[in-house]
Protein backbone atom coordinates (compact mmCIF):
# COMPACT_ATOMS: atom_id res chain seq x y z
CA UNK A 1 0.00 0.00 0.00
CA UNK A 2 1.35 3.44 -0.88
CA UNK A 3 1.68 6.11 1.82
CA UNK A 4 1.41 9.90 1.80
CA UNK A 5 3.65 11.98 4.05
CA UNK A 6 2.85 15.63 4.69
CA UNK A 7 5.61 18.14 5.37
CA UNK A 8 6.51 21.82 5.38
CA UNK A 9 9.59 21.85 3.10
CA UNK A 10 10.92 18.89 1.13
CA UNK A 11 14.50 19.24 -0.14
CA UNK A 12 15.32 16.65 -2.82
CA UNK A 13 19.07 15.83 -2.87
CA UNK A 14 21.60 15.82 -0.02
CA UNK A 15 24.58 17.24 -1.96
CA UNK A 16 26.09 20.53 -0.87
CA UNK A 17 23.25 22.52 -2.50
CA UNK A 18 20.44 20.52 -0.85
CA UNK A 19 22.15 20.26 2.55
CA UNK A 20 23.05 23.96 2.66
CA UNK A 21 19.51 24.93 1.57
CA UNK A 22 18.15 22.73 4.38
CA UNK A 23 20.41 24.52 6.90
CA UNK A 24 19.24 27.99 5.83
CA UNK A 25 15.57 26.97 5.64
CA UNK A 26 15.83 25.53 9.13
CA UNK A 27 17.47 28.73 10.42
CA UNK A 28 14.46 30.59 8.98
CA UNK A 29 12.13 28.43 11.09
CA UNK A 30 11.03 25.92 8.43
CA UNK A 31 10.59 22.22 9.13
CA UNK A 32 12.64 20.28 6.65
CA UNK A 33 12.53 16.75 5.26
CA UNK A 34 15.44 15.72 2.99
CA UNK A 35 14.91 13.10 0.29
CA UNK A 36 17.88 11.14 -1.04
CA UNK A 37 17.91 8.16 -3.40
CA UNK A 38 21.56 7.15 -2.86
CA UNK A 39 24.14 7.52 -0.13
CA UNK A 40 23.95 10.88 1.68
CA UNK A 41 26.35 13.52 0.30
CA UNK A 42 28.04 11.12 -2.13
CA UNK A 43 27.26 12.97 -5.40
CA UNK A 44 29.48 15.52 -7.13
CA UNK A 45 29.84 17.32 -3.80
CA UNK A 46 31.80 14.49 -2.20
CA UNK A 47 34.92 14.42 -4.37
CA UNK A 48 35.49 17.92 -5.70
CA UNK A 49 38.62 19.99 -5.20
CA UNK A 50 37.26 21.67 -2.07
CA UNK A 51 38.04 25.20 -3.22
CA UNK A 52 35.86 28.18 -2.22
CA UNK A 53 36.63 29.93 -5.47
CA UNK A 54 34.81 33.26 -5.01
CA UNK A 55 37.11 35.15 -7.45
CA UNK A 56 36.13 32.74 -10.27
CA UNK A 57 33.75 35.21 -11.88
CA UNK A 58 34.88 34.77 -15.50
CA UNK A 59 32.29 32.69 -17.38
CA UNK A 60 33.87 29.74 -19.21
CA UNK A 61 32.01 30.64 -22.43
CA UNK A 62 34.19 33.68 -23.16
CA UNK A 63 34.95 35.40 -26.47
CA UNK A 64 37.59 33.38 -28.33
CA UNK A 65 36.92 30.11 -26.44
CA UNK A 66 35.73 28.34 -29.60
CA UNK A 67 39.10 29.06 -31.24
CA UNK A 68 40.96 27.42 -28.35
CA UNK A 69 38.59 24.44 -27.98
CA UNK A 70 39.63 22.48 -31.12
CA UNK A 71 43.27 22.54 -29.93
CA UNK A 72 42.20 21.00 -26.60
CA UNK A 73 39.87 18.50 -28.30
CA UNK A 74 42.74 17.32 -30.50
CA UNK A 75 44.48 15.88 -27.41
CA UNK A 76 42.31 12.90 -26.31
CA UNK A 77 43.57 13.24 -22.72
CA UNK A 78 43.63 17.06 -22.70
CA UNK A 79 41.55 19.33 -20.46
CA UNK A 80 38.41 19.09 -22.67
CA UNK A 81 36.95 16.07 -24.42
CA UNK A 82 33.77 14.91 -26.11
CA UNK A 83 33.53 11.10 -26.34
CA UNK A 84 32.35 10.21 -29.90
CA UNK A 85 29.42 8.23 -28.43
CA UNK A 86 28.03 11.45 -26.94
CA UNK A 87 28.95 13.99 -29.63
CA UNK A 88 25.50 14.18 -31.29
CA UNK A 89 23.67 14.43 -27.94
CA UNK A 90 25.82 17.29 -26.65
CA UNK A 91 25.63 19.32 -29.90
CA UNK A 92 22.59 21.51 -28.89
CA UNK A 93 24.26 22.32 -25.56
CA UNK A 94 27.51 23.26 -27.34
CA UNK A 95 25.55 25.50 -29.71
CA UNK A 96 24.12 27.41 -26.71
CA UNK A 97 27.55 27.47 -25.08
CA UNK A 98 28.96 29.06 -28.24
CA UNK A 99 26.17 31.68 -28.23
CA UNK A 100 26.92 32.46 -24.57
CA UNK A 101 30.51 33.26 -25.54
CA UNK A 102 29.45 36.34 -27.58
CA UNK A 103 30.76 39.57 -26.01
CA UNK A 104 27.33 40.81 -24.81
CA UNK A 105 26.30 37.51 -23.25
CA UNK A 106 29.77 37.15 -21.72
CA UNK A 107 29.48 40.56 -20.00
CA UNK A 108 26.01 39.63 -18.71
CA UNK A 109 27.42 36.35 -17.36
CA UNK A 110 30.37 38.15 -15.79
CA UNK A 111 28.09 40.59 -13.92
CA UNK A 112 25.76 37.80 -12.79
CA UNK A 113 28.62 35.64 -11.51
CA UNK A 114 30.21 38.63 -9.79
CA UNK A 115 26.97 39.38 -7.90
CA UNK A 116 26.44 35.74 -6.99
CA UNK A 117 30.04 35.06 -5.91
CA UNK A 118 30.17 38.22 -3.79
CA UNK A 119 27.01 37.11 -2.01
CA UNK A 120 28.53 33.62 -1.79
CA UNK A 121 31.63 34.96 -0.02
CA UNK A 122 29.52 36.88 2.49
CA UNK A 123 27.18 33.98 3.21
CA UNK A 124 29.98 31.41 3.44
CA UNK A 125 31.72 33.62 6.02
CA UNK A 126 28.63 33.21 8.25
CA UNK A 127 28.59 29.45 7.70
CA UNK A 128 32.34 29.15 8.36
CA UNK A 129 31.90 31.05 11.63
CA UNK A 130 29.48 28.44 13.01
CA UNK A 131 31.15 26.54 15.87
CA UNK A 132 30.09 23.18 14.37
CA UNK A 133 31.75 24.00 11.00
CA UNK A 134 34.56 26.50 11.59
CA UNK A 135 37.26 23.81 11.89
CA UNK A 136 36.42 22.63 8.35
CA UNK A 137 37.25 25.88 6.50
CA UNK A 138 40.72 27.41 6.21
CA UNK A 139 42.59 30.18 4.43
CA UNK A 140 45.52 28.65 2.55
CA UNK A 141 45.86 31.16 -0.29
CA UNK A 142 45.82 30.30 -3.97
CA UNK A 143 48.74 30.20 -6.39
CA UNK A 144 47.72 30.46 -10.06
CA UNK A 145 50.67 29.18 -12.09
CA UNK A 146 51.39 29.88 -15.77
CA UNK A 147 53.87 28.18 -18.11
CA UNK A 148 55.19 31.47 -19.49
CA UNK A 149 54.98 35.23 -19.16
CA UNK A 150 53.03 35.34 -22.45
CA UNK A 151 50.45 32.97 -21.06
CA UNK A 152 49.98 35.07 -17.88
CA UNK A 153 49.74 38.22 -20.00
CA UNK A 154 47.05 36.57 -22.13
CA UNK A 155 44.99 36.11 -18.95
CA UNK A 156 45.51 39.75 -17.89
CA UNK A 157 41.97 40.79 -18.84
CA UNK A 158 40.51 38.14 -16.48
CA UNK A 159 42.69 39.33 -13.61
CA UNK A 160 41.69 42.95 -14.28
CA UNK A 161 38.02 41.93 -14.06
CA UNK A 162 38.66 40.14 -10.77
CA UNK A 163 40.45 43.20 -9.42
CA UNK A 164 37.55 45.47 -10.43
CA UNK A 165 35.20 43.11 -8.60
CA UNK A 166 37.21 43.68 -5.40
CA UNK A 167 39.25 40.48 -5.17
CA UNK A 168 42.86 40.90 -4.12
CA UNK A 169 45.93 39.22 -5.54
CA UNK A 170 49.49 39.99 -6.53
CA UNK A 171 51.73 39.05 -9.44
CA UNK A 172 54.73 37.02 -8.28
CA UNK A 173 57.98 35.76 -9.85
CA UNK A 174 60.22 32.77 -9.20
CA UNK A 175 61.67 33.85 -5.80
CA UNK A 176 58.19 34.38 -4.30
CA UNK A 177 56.85 31.21 -5.97
CA UNK A 178 59.66 29.20 -4.34
CA UNK A 179 58.79 30.70 -0.99
CA UNK A 180 55.04 30.17 -1.35
CA UNK A 181 55.39 26.57 -2.57
CA UNK A 182 58.83 25.01 -2.23
CA UNK A 183 59.58 22.17 -4.64
CA UNK A 184 57.80 23.37 -7.78
CA UNK A 185 59.51 22.61 -11.12
CA UNK A 186 61.78 25.48 -12.27
CA UNK A 187 59.61 26.13 -15.37
CA UNK A 188 57.10 27.99 -13.16
CA UNK A 189 58.34 31.57 -13.04
CA UNK A 190 55.08 33.48 -13.45
CA UNK A 191 52.08 33.32 -11.13
CA UNK A 192 49.29 35.24 -9.43
CA UNK A 193 48.95 34.82 -5.68
CA UNK A 194 45.60 35.34 -3.92
CA UNK A 195 46.35 35.46 -0.18
CA UNK A 196 42.64 35.19 0.75
CA UNK A 197 42.11 31.85 -1.03
CA UNK A 198 39.82 29.65 1.08
CA UNK A 199 39.12 25.94 1.02
CA UNK A 200 37.32 23.27 2.99
CA UNK A 201 39.32 20.55 4.72
CA UNK A 202 37.52 17.90 2.66
CA UNK A 203 34.35 18.42 0.58
CA UNK A 204 32.61 15.22 1.75
CA UNK A 205 33.35 15.98 5.42
CA UNK A 206 32.01 19.53 4.96
CA UNK A 207 28.83 18.40 3.17
CA UNK A 208 28.29 15.62 5.71
CA UNK A 209 28.82 17.94 8.70
CA UNK A 210 26.12 20.29 7.37
CA UNK A 211 23.75 17.40 6.73
CA UNK A 212 24.39 15.95 10.24
CA UNK A 213 23.84 19.38 11.82
CA UNK A 214 20.50 19.79 10.07
CA UNK A 215 19.41 16.33 11.23
CA UNK A 216 20.62 17.00 14.80
CA UNK A 217 18.45 20.14 14.80
CA UNK A 218 15.30 18.22 13.94
CA UNK A 219 15.17 17.64 10.17
CA UNK A 220 14.51 14.11 8.94
CA UNK A 221 15.86 12.03 6.08
CA UNK A 222 13.66 10.00 3.79
CA UNK A 223 15.33 7.47 1.46
CA UNK A 224 13.87 7.13 -2.03
CA UNK A 225 13.92 8.53 -5.55
CA UNK A 226 11.61 11.36 -6.59
CA UNK A 227 10.07 10.34 -9.91
CA UNK A 228 7.60 13.10 -10.62
CA UNK A 229 6.14 16.27 -9.17
CA UNK A 230 2.57 17.49 -9.63
CA UNK A 231 1.10 20.83 -8.68
CA UNK A 232 -2.47 20.03 -7.62
CA UNK A 233 -4.41 23.14 -6.58
CA UNK A 234 -2.59 24.51 -3.52
CA UNK A 235 -0.62 21.29 -2.98
CA UNK A 236 2.58 19.99 -4.44
CA UNK A 237 2.80 16.22 -4.58
CA UNK A 238 6.10 14.41 -5.07
CA UNK A 239 5.76 10.78 -6.16
CA UNK A 240 8.57 8.36 -5.33
CA UNK A 241 9.68 5.34 -7.36
CA UNK A 242 7.77 2.96 -5.02
CA UNK A 243 4.55 4.94 -5.44
CA UNK A 244 4.72 6.70 -2.03
CA UNK A 245 3.78 10.38 -2.10
CA UNK A 246 5.02 13.43 -0.22
CA UNK A 247 2.70 16.41 0.02
CA UNK A 248 4.87 19.46 0.78
CA UNK A 249 4.17 23.15 1.22
CA UNK A 250 7.45 23.91 -0.58
CA UNK A 251 9.73 21.62 -2.61
CA UNK A 252 13.38 22.38 -3.40
CA UNK A 253 14.91 20.47 -6.32
CA UNK A 254 18.64 20.09 -5.65
CA UNK A 255 19.39 16.92 -7.62
CA UNK A 256 22.57 18.21 -9.25
CA UNK A 257 23.24 16.77 -12.72
CA UNK A 258 20.12 14.57 -12.43
CA UNK A 259 17.64 17.46 -12.07
CA UNK A 260 16.60 17.75 -15.73
CA UNK A 261 14.39 14.65 -15.75
CA UNK A 262 12.57 15.68 -12.60
CA UNK A 263 11.82 19.27 -13.64
CA UNK A 264 10.57 17.94 -17.00
CA UNK A 265 7.66 16.37 -15.08
CA UNK A 266 6.61 19.97 -14.25
CA UNK A 267 6.88 20.96 -17.91
CA UNK A 268 10.26 22.74 -17.57
CA UNK A 269 12.77 22.13 -20.35
CA UNK A 270 16.25 23.10 -19.13
CA UNK A 271 19.40 22.39 -21.15
CA UNK A 272 21.23 20.86 -18.21
CA UNK A 273 24.16 18.60 -19.11
CA UNK A 274 27.09 17.27 -17.17
CA UNK A 275 30.76 18.19 -17.40
CA UNK A 276 32.38 15.08 -15.99
CA UNK A 277 35.54 15.73 -13.97
CA UNK A 278 38.26 13.42 -12.67
CA UNK A 279 40.76 13.35 -9.88
CA UNK A 280 43.23 11.25 -7.90
CA UNK A 281 43.69 11.61 -4.15
CA UNK A 282 47.13 10.70 -2.83
CA UNK A 283 48.10 10.26 0.80
CA UNK A 284 48.38 13.53 2.83
CA UNK A 285 52.17 13.13 3.04
CA UNK A 286 52.70 12.55 -0.70
CA UNK A 287 54.10 16.09 -0.88
CA UNK A 288 54.57 19.05 1.44
CA UNK A 289 51.83 21.08 -0.25
CA UNK A 290 51.31 24.48 1.34
CA UNK A 291 48.29 25.75 -0.59
CA UNK A 292 45.97 25.29 -3.60
CA UNK A 293 47.85 25.28 -6.91
CA UNK A 294 46.09 26.02 -10.20
CA UNK A 295 47.99 24.84 -13.30
CA UNK A 296 46.16 27.22 -15.58
CA UNK A 297 47.65 26.09 -18.89
CA UNK A 298 46.77 22.47 -18.17
CA UNK A 299 43.22 22.64 -16.72
CA UNK A 300 43.85 21.03 -13.34
CA UNK A 301 44.35 21.95 -9.69
CA UNK A 302 46.15 20.41 -6.73
CA UNK A 303 44.61 20.88 -3.27
CA UNK A 304 45.92 19.99 0.19
CA UNK A 305 42.93 18.28 1.87
CA UNK A 306 42.90 16.72 5.34
CA UNK A 307 42.15 13.42 3.60
CA UNK A 308 45.00 13.70 1.08
CA UNK A 309 46.50 15.61 -1.81
CA UNK A 310 43.88 15.87 -4.57
CA UNK A 311 44.90 16.34 -8.21
CA UNK A 312 41.98 16.93 -10.51
CA UNK A 313 40.00 18.84 -13.08
CA UNK A 314 39.29 18.16 -16.80
CA UNK A 315 35.97 18.47 -18.59
CA UNK A 316 34.46 15.49 -20.37
CA UNK A 317 31.12 16.16 -22.07
CA UNK A 318 30.03 12.55 -21.83
CA UNK A 319 26.57 12.50 -20.22
CA UNK A 320 25.42 10.50 -17.21
CA UNK A 321 25.64 6.95 -18.57
CA UNK A 322 29.03 6.37 -20.25
CA UNK A 323 31.68 4.53 -18.24
CA UNK A 324 34.43 6.70 -16.72
CA UNK A 325 37.72 6.95 -18.60
CA UNK A 326 40.24 7.05 -15.75
CA UNK A 327 43.10 7.61 -18.18
CA UNK A 328 42.10 11.27 -17.74
CA UNK A 329 42.90 11.10 -14.02
CA UNK A 330 46.17 9.31 -14.84
CA UNK A 331 47.16 11.97 -17.39
CA UNK A 332 46.72 14.76 -14.79
CA UNK A 333 48.59 12.77 -12.15
CA UNK A 334 51.50 12.22 -14.54
CA UNK A 335 51.71 15.94 -15.28
CA UNK A 336 51.51 16.76 -11.56
CA UNK A 337 54.48 14.44 -11.04
CA UNK A 338 56.48 16.50 -13.54
CA UNK A 339 55.38 19.85 -12.09
CA UNK A 340 56.00 18.79 -8.48
CA UNK A 341 59.14 16.63 -8.61
CA UNK A 342 59.16 14.54 -5.46
CA UNK A 343 55.39 14.02 -5.41
CA UNK A 344 54.82 10.39 -4.36
CA UNK A 345 52.48 9.10 -7.06
CA UNK A 346 51.70 5.63 -5.66
CA UNK A 347 48.53 4.45 -3.94
CA UNK A 348 46.14 7.14 -5.20
CA UNK A 349 42.35 6.81 -5.25
CA UNK A 350 40.61 7.78 -8.48
CA UNK A 351 37.22 9.43 -8.74
CA UNK A 352 34.88 10.77 -11.41
CA UNK A 353 32.08 13.24 -10.67
CA UNK A 354 29.22 14.85 -12.57
CA UNK A 355 29.28 18.65 -12.59
CA UNK A 356 25.71 19.86 -13.24
CA UNK A 357 26.27 22.38 -16.03
CA UNK A 358 24.23 24.93 -17.95
CA UNK A 359 25.61 26.26 -21.28
CA UNK A 360 25.98 29.84 -19.94
CA UNK A 361 27.83 28.66 -16.82
CA UNK A 362 25.16 30.14 -14.52
CA UNK A 363 23.10 28.03 -12.12
CA UNK A 364 19.33 27.63 -12.17
CA UNK A 365 17.77 29.35 -9.16
CA UNK A 366 14.09 30.24 -9.34
CA UNK A 367 10.56 28.90 -9.09
CA UNK A 368 8.75 26.53 -11.45
CA UNK A 369 6.56 28.20 -14.05
CA UNK A 370 3.52 26.19 -12.95
CA UNK A 371 3.82 26.89 -9.22
CA UNK A 372 5.93 29.16 -6.98
CA UNK A 373 5.92 26.35 -4.38
CA UNK A 374 8.62 24.43 -6.28
CA UNK A 375 12.07 26.01 -6.18
CA UNK A 376 14.87 24.98 -8.53
CA UNK A 377 18.46 25.00 -7.21
CA UNK A 378 20.87 23.16 -9.50
CA UNK A 379 23.27 23.62 -12.43
CA UNK A 380 26.19 25.13 -10.48
CA UNK A 381 28.81 23.56 -12.79
CA UNK A 382 32.34 24.14 -11.52
CA UNK A 383 31.25 26.25 -8.54
CA UNK A 384 28.60 24.38 -6.53
CA UNK A 385 30.55 24.31 -3.27
CA UNK A 386 31.54 27.97 -3.71
CA UNK A 387 27.98 29.15 -4.42
CA UNK A 388 26.15 26.85 -2.00
CA UNK A 389 25.54 29.34 0.83
CA UNK A 390 24.43 32.11 -1.56
CA UNK A 391 22.05 29.68 -3.26
CA UNK A 392 20.69 28.63 0.12
CA UNK A 393 20.03 32.27 1.04
CA UNK A 394 18.16 32.88 -2.24
CA UNK A 395 16.17 29.63 -1.95
CA UNK A 396 15.10 30.54 1.58
CA UNK A 397 13.97 33.98 0.47
CA UNK A 398 11.99 32.45 -2.42
CA UNK A 399 10.40 29.94 -0.03
CA UNK A 400 9.13 32.71 2.22
CA UNK A 401 8.07 35.02 -0.61
CA UNK A 402 10.64 37.71 0.32
CA UNK A 403 12.61 39.86 -2.10
CA UNK A 404 15.88 38.18 -2.97
CA UNK A 405 19.24 39.60 -1.90
CA UNK A 406 20.38 39.93 -5.53
CA UNK A 407 18.41 39.74 -8.77
CA UNK A 408 17.80 36.11 -9.71
CA UNK A 409 16.65 37.00 -13.21
CA UNK A 410 19.96 35.79 -14.78
CA UNK A 411 19.37 32.38 -13.14
CA UNK A 412 15.71 31.93 -14.14
CA UNK A 413 14.87 28.37 -15.21
CA UNK A 414 13.18 29.43 -18.47
CA UNK A 415 16.01 31.60 -19.84
CA UNK A 416 16.71 29.21 -22.73
CA UNK A 417 13.07 28.62 -23.66
Where do contacts with ligand FAD occur on this chain (CB under 6 A)? 12-18, 35-38, 43-45, 48-51, 53, 225-226, 254-256, 258, 262, 277, 279, 312, 353, 355-356, 378, 380-386
Q: Which is nearer to ligand FAD, 165 or 254 (CB)?
A: 254
Fill in the DSSP letter of residue 46. G
Smallest gap from residue 21 Cβ to ligand FAD (A): 9
Smallest gap from residue 37 Cβ to ligand FAD (A): 4
| CA dihedral for 91, 92, 94, 99, sign (positive or negative) | positive
Beta bridge partners of 226: 240
Measured CA distances, 391 to 119, 124, 287 (Å):
9, 11, 35
Q: Which is nearer to ligand FAD, 148 or 242 (CB)?
A: 242
Q: Which is nearer to ligand FAD, 55 or 189 (CB)?
A: 55
- Best CA proximity match to 353, nearest among 324, 376, 380: 324
Smallest gap from residue 50 Cβ to ligand FAD (A): 6
**Interatomic CA distance for residues 193 and 179, integer angstroms:** 12
Q: Which is nearer to ligand FAD, 189 or 359 (CB)?
A: 359
Q: Which is nearer to ligand FAD, 106 or 378 (CB)?
A: 378
**Interatomic CA distance for residues 3 and 301, integer angstroms:** 47
Backbone angles phi, psi at 339, to 5 degrees: -80, -25
Do 15 and 44 touch, CB atoms closer than 8 A? Answer: yes
Do 210 and 123 touch, CB atoms closer than 8 A? Answer: no
Smallest gap from residue 39 Cβ to ligand FAD (A): 7
* Long-range interactions of 307-310: CB distance < 8 A, separation 24+: 307/201, 307/202, 307/204, 307/205, 307/281, 308/281, 308/282, 308/283, 308/284, 308/349, 309/281, 309/282, 309/283, 309/284, 309/343, 310/49, 310/50, 310/279, 310/280, 310/281, 310/282
**Are β-strands 4-12 and 32-36 bridged in parallel, bridged antiparallel, or unpaired?**
parallel
Q: Which is nearer to ligand FAD, 17 or 231 (CB)?
A: 17
Smallest gap from residue 158 Cβ to ligand FAD (A): 17
- Best CA proximity match to 299, nearest among 346, 339, 245: 339
Q: Which is nearer to ligand FAD, 189 or 291 (CB)?
A: 291
Q: Which positions ≥6 away from 349 have C-beta within 8 Å?
A: 280, 281, 308
Smallest gap from residue 85 Cβ to ligand FAD (A): 20
Q: Which is nearer to ligand FAD, 207 or 371 (CB)?
A: 207
Smallest gap from residue 186 Cβ to ligand FAD (A): 27
Smallest gap from residue 104 Cβ to ligand FAD (A): 26
Amino acid sequence: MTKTLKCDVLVIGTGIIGSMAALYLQNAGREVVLLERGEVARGASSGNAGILAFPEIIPIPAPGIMKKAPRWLFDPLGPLSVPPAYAAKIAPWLWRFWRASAERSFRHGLKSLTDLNRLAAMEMAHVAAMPELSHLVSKTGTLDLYDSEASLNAARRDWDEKESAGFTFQRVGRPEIEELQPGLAPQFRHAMFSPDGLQVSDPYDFNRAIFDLVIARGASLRKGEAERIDAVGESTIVTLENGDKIDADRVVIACGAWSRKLVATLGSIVPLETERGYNTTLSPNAFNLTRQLYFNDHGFVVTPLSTGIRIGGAVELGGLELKPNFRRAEAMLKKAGRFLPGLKLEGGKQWMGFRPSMPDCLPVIGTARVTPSVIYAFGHGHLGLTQSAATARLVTQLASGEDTEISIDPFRPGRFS
